[in-house]
Amino acid sequence: MSILIKNIHCIKALINRNPEMVISLKADSKKDSEIIALAESRNIQIDLTTNGVSAICKEPPIKDIKSQGYELGNMVLIMDEIQDTRNLGSCLRSASFFGVDSVVIPKNNSADFLNPAVIETSTGGIYDLDLYKATNIATLQENLKKSGYWISGFSEHAEISLEETEFTEKNVLIIGNEEKGIRKLVERNCDQVLKINKYGQTSSLNVAVATAIALFEVQKKLRY
């Protein structure tokens, strides 16, 4: 299956990092010489047009969790019912930047990995990640615990600060819905629930910003 991408920054990133995922490029020979040259250097098919830049890309593959034996790498991000496509895309961009191995979303009631807005907002970062969909996040948590993962949920109402917490080798971070946060059952199944310290007046952060901060802090703690 293929998907149409129109964001030029995403297209450039894909041609640079994942050229095998770009099937063909449409561009204007007069206006878009730079990206045409880049595509030619990667042996990507080019169709000339006067209607702006676009690319036909392969869909990012969705893997089966059970077939992986619940071994999803050392850093796993679960996005629990994120609704906004651009929020999910921004979280995926941060996940790629901060070295996340796998990202999981629910099969239902979530923005979808294959939405073009998600892919474009991720600036192609979605293709750097192993992607999974789970029928039941709470059940997934139990299976991941059996595989040795330490599960940390994030909530503005938590009592434990992210800054005061240490992490193990295999970590799962769970970020919740933009309005409601992580669901109660999912929260109860976490090994710990953490908050990002607030120093000003605004009560909460955008989910994409919170995700980036959480990933940065956890990776910093694991490396230093």
Q: What is the CATH number of the domain that holds 80?
A: 3.40.1280.10
**Whether 95 and 119 share a structural domain:** yes
* DSSP state letters, 113-141: TT-HHHHHHTTTGGGGSEEEEES-HHHHH
Is residue 100's pLDDT more than 90? Answer: yes
| Mean pLDDT of all residues in 104-130 | 97
Contact call for residues 91 and 118 (beta carbons, < 8 A): no
**Whether 66 and 53 share a structural domain:** no
Number of domains in the chain: 2
Q: DSSP state, 181?
A: B
Q: Which two tokens stand for residue 220?
A: 């910093």
pLDDT band at 201 (very low <50, low <70, confident <90, very high): confident
pLDDT band at 96 (very low <50, low <70, confident <90, very high): very high
Q: State the pTM of this model.
A: 0.94
**Whether 192 and 103 share a structural domain:** yes
**Whether 203 and 118 share a structural domain:** yes
What pLDDT score does 94 carry? 98
Rounded Cα distance between 199 and 132, Å, is 35
Question: Domain containing 47: what range?
Answer: 2-58
**Whether 53 and 66 share a structural domain:** no
Rounded Cα distance between 134 and 4, Å, is 26
**Whether 161 and 217 share a structural domain:** yes
What pLDDT score does 203 carry? 80
